[in-house]
């Protein structure tokens, strides 16, 4: 019940395309859903986060869509750029600093 399932494991997108990463959770006590971006040799960095009282949040080219009834949320990267090539992790937590992470998606954006 503590798991967060993430797909796909890897994603190859052409420059300018849309990258979509999906996550699903089971624990209804989760109420904060961040996405992290990690480059090789670096720690994860917060990209964007959402709480379940909204269905969508957009920041620049990055959008989170949230479906509370389906217990699913997804990250959309519009106009993907080679600089977006990184590993992306979804996560969830319920009023604690204990983040439960998805398994990660390695995104490669080719020019």
Partner 1 sequence: KAGVTQTPRYLIKTRGQQVTLSCSPISGHRSVSWYQQTPGQGLQFLFEYFSETQRNKGNFPGRFSGRQFSNSRSEMNVSTLELGDSALYLCASSLLTGGFHEQFFGPGTRLTVL
**Least Å distance between CB 24 and partner 1?**
15
**Least Å distance between CB 39 and partner 1?**
10
Which two tokens mark 94?
A: 């319920």
Q: Which of residues 69-108 bind partner 1 (CB under 8 A)?
A: 89, 93-104
Pick the closer one to partner 1 by CB: 19 or 30: 30
**Least Å distance between CB 14 and partner 1?**
27
Does residue 32 belong to the site contacting partner 1 (CB under 8 A)? Answer: yes
CA atoms within 13 A on the CB side of 110: 4
Helix, strand, coil percentages, rounded to 5, for the chain: 5, 55, 40
CB atoms within 10 A of CB 57: 16
Which two tokens mark 55?
A: 């269905």
Beta-bridged to residue 55, according to DSSP, are none
What is the binding site for partner 1 (CB under 8 A)?
31-32, 34, 36, 41-46, 49, 51, 89, 93-104
């Amino acid at each position: 019940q503590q798991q967060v399932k993430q797909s796909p494991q890897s994603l190859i997108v052409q420059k300018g395309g849309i990258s979509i990463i999906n996550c699903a959770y089971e624990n209804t006590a989760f109420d904060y859903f961040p996405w992290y971006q990690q480059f090789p040799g670096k720690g994860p960095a917060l990209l964007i986060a959402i709480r379940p009282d909204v269905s969508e949040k957009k920041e620049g080219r990055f959008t989170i869509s949230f479906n509370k009834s389906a217990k699913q949320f997804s990250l959309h990267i519009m106009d993907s750029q080679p600089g977006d090539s990184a590993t992306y992790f979804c996560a969830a937590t319920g009023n604690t600093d204990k983040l439960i992470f998805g398994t990660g998606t390695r995104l490669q954006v080719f020019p």
